[in-house]
Each structure stands twice: as structure tokens, then as C-alpha cells.
Amino acid sequence: MNRYPGWLNALVLVLMLAAMLLALPNIYGSAPAVQLSASDGTDYNDERLQQLLLTMRNVGVDPEAAYLRDGRIVLRFESIEQQRDAEALLRERYERDASIAFTLAPKLPEWVRDLGLSPMSLGLDLRGGVYVLLEVDMNTAIETRMITYQVDFDDRLRDAQIRHRVDLDGMVITVRLQNAEDLESARAVIREADADILIADGTDGKSLLVRMTEQQIEARRDLAIEQNVTTLRNRVDELGVAEPLVQRQGTDRIVVQLPGVQDPNLIKRILTATATIEFRLVDQTGVEPGSRMYPGRDGQAAQILKRKVIASGDQIVNAESGFSSEGQPTVFINLDSVGGDSMLATTQENVGKPMSTLFIETKRVAETRNGVTEYRINKTEEIINTATIRGVFKNNFQITGLNPIEARDLALLLRAGALAAPVYMIDERTIGPSLGQDNIDRGFLAVQIGFLSVIVFMVLYYRWFGMIANLALLVNVVFVVALLSLLQASLTLPGIAGIVLTVGMAVDANVLIFERIHEELAAGVSPQAAINSGYEKAFSSIADANITTLIAAVVLFAFGTGPVKGFAVTLSLGIMTSMFTAIVGTRSIVNLVFGGRKLKSVPV
């Protein structure tokens, strides 16, 4: 007789019920929504949610549902018109305190949300949104590093009391010395700054030529793009976009996908902005080495600033926009420990002296000449604020000189961090929600046609055993959807193709088992023994076929990008779940239906 122990049957039943529960949120669909996240990074609570709802209802805007998700407020509406009305109201009332974004929210009952369940994430091609491809300016990343070397070598040689001049020309730093006797001392100072950098003697016998190694250049490029990926993720999070995708593509590009976002202008301005700030003392004498003239913004007088940077954008821990006691738009700054110590030491020694805030922004400008488009880098450096140091301060202070929109955007950029190198948009696409819904409809139509075709074939060819295989096939699809929901892996159009392929492959194992049972019956084996042999002897062939396909899927995931990864994810999950449903699941049902009695024949 063919029987499973009771605990194994119970395990199969529990797994099926768990899969159905996890897949349940996907049947409810989604609706237009507005998402709010606090500008100061704090989490919203129930009290703030109720206050916001009261404000909205007082002006006749009543969301279909309102709840907290990951510290953010989600307001769901029945129509896009209500969504737009609510967004306009929220921007008018809360734009200074919150990031407000259009999104789509699942129409889940409250009890489903309370269980922490959520539907699978939909990719950009299914949900609609904005796709942006950015190129990282690697040359600027290297130039920035060389400038840092130049300033560092200059300071170190001055501290060592070696008379010198440090010049930067492209990728080579030339250290010119007054005396040839200082050559080895200068070499030791530079080597102490960086043990790996290349140092060669100049032709005049009293200079050194310093350049980065190829390994250092490559490492700097990798670091620049990885830092930019992190910074861009932070910026997207500040915008409150749900389920964004920010990932590296190739050697110098970054892909940003923002599902549900329909405002590409805002995204373009925030993602490509390279704005940062530096705090420097004003050189009132105008003779200090390294000082230079910087223009003022909006008609302000130009001033000579010292070369030394007291603190910069990459040392800012938090930045919030608001208004000063005089009503001026203000950015409130909080520095890290290094920047705070530098600011403390500077203000202690320079009370009564002016300090300026230097705004720095890099843009790429396109110029067309004779039908050929060329790009040049336009770097803007201007003083937005100069104030006299009235007292000693450290980590917390404020800057003015901006309009409200500039203050808000600058605060967002500073909170998210400065880019390690400028990025330029080379491709941008906006996918409307109607097109995304059309993709969903067509994709699931393909799944339905494939599923029904397999069901019809299995019933006609394998009769009752075919029905059992069809039940396992249905459960397999539920398992795949459940795992996608649990892992929150984004489902894309190629992912749907992976599901369709899984539907076809999922019955392969049962075909092998049923054909093996045919062979055993033809050899004169009893029905129960034939069933047992069919499952046991077909297992090795099933395992070999699925493992090799799984290896291919893993390779696709490891080396593929975007759509290829989506296909690999669903294919991998489908292979693993089909192994379980085809071997363990169908065997459990066959044992329950046919295993406890004598059989004269097998309906296969």
C-alpha cells in the first residue's frame, strides 16, 4: 500500500494554507494614493495621522482608507481626481514638513494589513512610473581626488617647513622645491600621505611628479559610483517614493526606476542635482596663499575666501528647511563630529570675523555645432550667505540667502548626502498607469491561456491522474505568487514570462512519473507497486532536469540586469515549488485517494 505518515500529510496541508494566505493580498488590486514622509526623518504616529485626517475632512477631502506604513502615512482614494485634490491640499498645508508623493496602494482589508501581509511588488512596466538612466562623470571623480591630494600635500609640506609649490596639471601633481636637498624629505612626506601613490623625479633635479596608480584610479571610480548609488537611494527615500529601484549598470551608469511616480521634472531636478555647500572664512587681507575671489548670488558683492574648508556637505548629518525668527527661508544644519570639531575650533579663534557659505553646483550643458552635439561641464560657485561669527558654536547652526523652494531642495540634497561625482541623465521614460495595466492584463491572459491548455491536455491524456497533476499545477502557481509576495521581489513582464514557462515545466515531472507508471504496468507490476516505482524511479531524472535549469536561472540572476533578473527570479521560484508540488504534493493526494485500497487498474 502507498501511504504517507500523518505528519507529512499535515505538513503539505499547512504549506498549502500558508501559501494561500500569503497570496491572498494579490486579489484585491490597487488604488490611487498619496504618501507622506516626514522631512525630519521621524516616523509618523497615530496621533499625527488623526490630526491630518481631521484637517482633510474639514475641507471635504475624505480618503477611502488611511494608515501608517513604515513610519509613513498612506492615504488611499477611489479615483485619480480625489488623489490630485488631496495632493494639492497636502502640499499647501504640509509641504514644509513632509515629502509628498503620488503612488498606488493595495486595496487590502484592515485585517489583512494587520497581519503584515502585502501583495507582490510590481515592476515599472506593470505599474507605470519613471525610468531614468544616469551616467556618472568618472573624470570629475578622479579630478576631485587629485585636487584633494594637491591640498593635502601642500598642507603637509608647509607643516614640515619645506619651501615648495604644488601644481596640478590633469592627472599629474608637480611638487616644485626651492632646494634640491629637500627632495628626499618631500618624498617621505608625500609617501606618508599615501604609501601607494607613484612618485617620480622631475627633470630639473628639484621637483617630484606624483600620479595615481591604475589600481587607485579604478578603485576611485568604483567608489564614486557606489557612493552615488547610496546617495541616490537616500534622495529617492526622501521623496517618499514607494518601492524604488536604484542599481548600478555597467561601469559608469546607474538605473533608477520609480514605480507609481508620474512627475519626471521633480525627479530629474533632485536626482541630477550636484549641489553642495562649503563653509569658509573670508580673507579680509586678500593675501593668504590659496585664497580666491567668488561671486555673490543675486547681486551680492564678490568676496575673497580662504582656501581652507571649515566644513562641507559630506559632513552634514541632517538638514531641515524652515524659517528664521526674522521670517527668512532658512536651512538648519547639523554637522557630524569631525565637521563639528572643525567648526568649534574655527569659531573659537575667529569671533567677530565673517564666514561665508559657498554654494557649488555642477551641470553638463549641451552645445550643438554644425549638427554635432557636444557637452561641456559648467561649474557654478557662488556665495549665498556671509555672516559675522558672533559666538562660539559647534554642530548646529543655520544658513540663509535662499528662496523657500531652494531651501527645501538644498535641505533634501544635504540630508541625502553629496554625490561623489556628477551624474547626467542620458535616458528618461515615463510609463503611464494605463499602459502598465494593459501589460498586466495581457500578461495574465497569457498565463490563463497557458494554464488552461495544460489542464485540457493533462485531463485528456492522463485522466484522473491528470486531474491530480492539474491541482498540483494550480497550487504551484499559488506558491510562486506567495513567495513573490513574501520576498517582495518585483514582478515584471519578463517575470510573467517566467511564470508562463513554469506552468509548462511544472507538469514535466508528473509526465515522467506517469509514463514510468505506464511502463511498470506494461511489465506486469501490480498497480500499487507501479505507483510506488513510478515516483521513486522517476525522481533522479526529475532532479537532474530541474537542477540544470535552476543552475541556468541562477547564472541569469547573477549576471543579468533588470528584466533578465525578473525572469530568473520567477523561473527559480517556479522550479523549486514545482519540484515540491509535483513530487510530494501529487504523491500525497495519490496516496490519500488510491493508496488505501486494492486496485485492479490505475486511471492514468
Amino acid 187: pLDDT: 92
| Nearest alpha carbon to residue 232 among 334, 125, 366, 132 | 132
Backbone angles phi, psi at 102, to 5 degrees: -70, 145
Burial class (CB in 10 A: 0-12, 13-18, 19+), 77: buried
> What value does the mean pLDDT take over residues 40-44?
72
Answer with the residue of higher pLDDT: 491 or 166: 166
For the chain, give the mean pLDDT. 81
Q: Supply the pTM of this predicted model.
A: 0.62
What's the pLDDT band for 209 if we cut at 50, 70, 90?
Answer: very high
pLDDT of 309 reads 87
Closest CA to 257 of 266, 247, 249, 265: 247
Three-state secondary structure call for residue 599? coil
For residue range 508-523, list pLDDT tens digits in order: 788 888 888 878 778 8
- Per-residue pLDDT at 241: 66
pLDDT category at 436 given cuts 50, 70, 90 is low
- 217-273 pLDDT, tens per residue? 998 888 888 888 888 887 777 666 666 778 888 888 898 888 766 666 666 667 777
Reported as type and span, the H/E element at residue 214 is helix 214-239
| CA-based nearest residue to 379, from 394, 399, 359 | 359
How does residue 210 score in pLDDT terms, banded at 50, 70 and 90? very high
**CA dist 496 to 442, 567, 576, Å?**
10, 7, 17
* pLDDT above 80 (res 157): yes
CA angle 589, 593, 595 (to 5 degrees): 95
Q: Which three cell numbers stand for residue 572?
A: 527559480
Does pLDDT of 140 surpass 90?
A: no
pLDDT attached to residue 281 = 93
The percent of residues above 90 in pLDDT, for the chain, comes to 7
Q: What is the pLDDT of residues 316-348, one digit of tens each?
A: 877 888 787 777 888 888 888 888 889 999 999
Q: What pLDDT is recorded for position 596? A: 66
E strand or H helix at 573, and its extent? helix 563-579
Residues 6+ away with beta carbon under 8 Å from 363: 274, 377, 378, 379, 380, 422
Average confidence (pLDDT) over 528-545: 80
Highest mean pLDDT among 126-135, 218-227, 271-280, 538-547: 218-227
456, pLDDT greater than 80: yes
DSSP annotation of 586 reads H
> Where is pLDDT greater, at 225 or 446?
225
Cα–Cα distance list, 299 to 362, 571, 586 (Å): 21, 62, 80
Most confident of 76-80, 210-214, 487-491, 524-528: 210-214
3-state secondary structure (DSSP) of residue 115: coil
Q: What's the confidence (pLDDT) of residue 447?
A: 77
**Distance between CA atoms of residues 102 and 261, nearest Å:** 6
List the domains of the chain with CATH numbers: 6-24+436-594 (1.20.1640.10), 31-107 (3.30.70.1510), 139-217 (3.30.1360.40), 276-404 (3.30.1360)
Q: Which of 230, 129, 104, 124 is nearest to 490 (CA)?
A: 124
